[in-house]
Amino acid sequence: MRNVIYLVFAFLILGCGNEDELTSKIEIENLYGIQDDPSDPVKHRVFEMYSEYGIPVYFNDTIGRIFVKKDVTGKDVYRYETLDLAWGFTSYDRVTYDYEYMMDPDEQLKALDIIENYLKLAAKPLHPFNFFVTKSAKITDSNDKEEIYEKGAYTINYRTLLMTGDWTDSQVENLPGEMVREMVKSKIVNYKDLLEAFNTISDPTWYGEIWSSLDPHYYDYVDGIGQPKAWFTPSALSEDWYLASYFTEEELAEFRAAVRAAIGQWGFVNGDTFANVMSPRKNEIDLVLYITEMLRLSRDEFEELWGDCPLVMEKYEILYDIVANKLGVEL
């Protein structure tokens, strides 16, 4: 009996020794580091961009692996790490992501052109932690509602800027600037006190109204112009306004100045995105319109165009503090 007890103890001791040898030793590698491959144009370009900006670009959501332990046969056991776009700063969304990966090297290089132009344009505080580029992406929520991203659509997540491909030439040219504006918008919402001040400058009753109902004398700004008064909308402020050819250069500048004076009296810099004949429907649209106008002009140019509109300039100063001083965007 005593020999049996000794044998049991011996097995327990040996078992504990073997267990120590098999205990997990998690070693976190540099998951987000990018390795160079000069023989592969895409991987080499990704490495060059990573070396310059410190921002990785992925074409697959499996980004690396973590060594966990050796198994009983001595083989290494790894856990593969993937990008999980459901994470927020303090939350986790109940959604799933399905991706159609981008495999065409030419499309991948086109994506890298867009991303590099974005990184050149955007101040460092506007750089995401990483870019993830797919051909398309499907997001499914807990109620099985699906949202498809494709054909150049993108979404800004907590750490990742997810992009989809099949870009048109126009998207290749315009997407970097558009993404900068959206990134500014996503960052601005963190400055709640300043944003609240911005939202209180224009009276709530001024939003979503036909311009002429806000001011019965709205069309008096363009009396005697010799053109239909229906043309007198913020559409005229667009650089590619289709009716601009009906004006001389001097007449067009005068017409646009009248539009700015008319809508600027309420603190607005453009009309609603749905219908330009009315003011922005809500604060969020007003904010996006302001960001767009701010980022296309220097401070001096903005003041030259809008300086006679006190409410516009009051809003500008609030956003300038955020965009230029806090986010580091050069205006």
Query: pLDDT digit of tens for each residue in the chain (331 aa)?
Result: 444 444 444 444 444 444 444 444 444 455 566 888 999 999 999 999 999 999 999 998 877 777 788 888 888 887 777 777 776 555 567 788 899 999 999 999 999 999 999 999 898 889 999 999 999 999 898 888 999 999 999 998 888 999 999 999 999 999 998 898 889 888 888 888 888 999 999 999 999 999 999 999 998 888 767 778 889 999 999 988 999 999 999 999 999 999 999 999 999 999 998 888 999 999 999 998 998 898 889 999 999 999 999 999 999 999 999 988 888 887 7
Phi, psi of 213 (to 5 degrees): -80, -25
Residue found under tokens 């008064």: 229
* Strand pairing report for 154-156 and 57-58: unpaired
Which 3 state secondary structure label does DSSP give 146? strand
* pLDDT for 312: 97
* pLDDT for 91: 54
What letter does residue 236 receive in the DSSP assignment?
G
| Ranges of each domain in the chain | 41-60+85-178, 192-326
AA letter at 14: L
Residue partners of 2: CB distance under 8 A and separation at least 6: none
Helix 299-306 / helix 249-264 crossing angle, nearest 10 deg: 80
Cα separation, 77 vs 154, in Å, equals: 35
Cα separation, 144 vs 292, in Å, equals: 35
Other beta carbons less than 10 A from residue 329's beta carbon: 22
**Which helix H or strand E contains 141, and what residues bound it?**
strand 130-141
Cα separation, 328 vs 330, in Å, equals: 6
DSSP notation for 258-311: HHHHHHHTTT-SS--SS-TTB--SSHHHHHHHHHHHHHHS-HHHHHHHHTT-HH
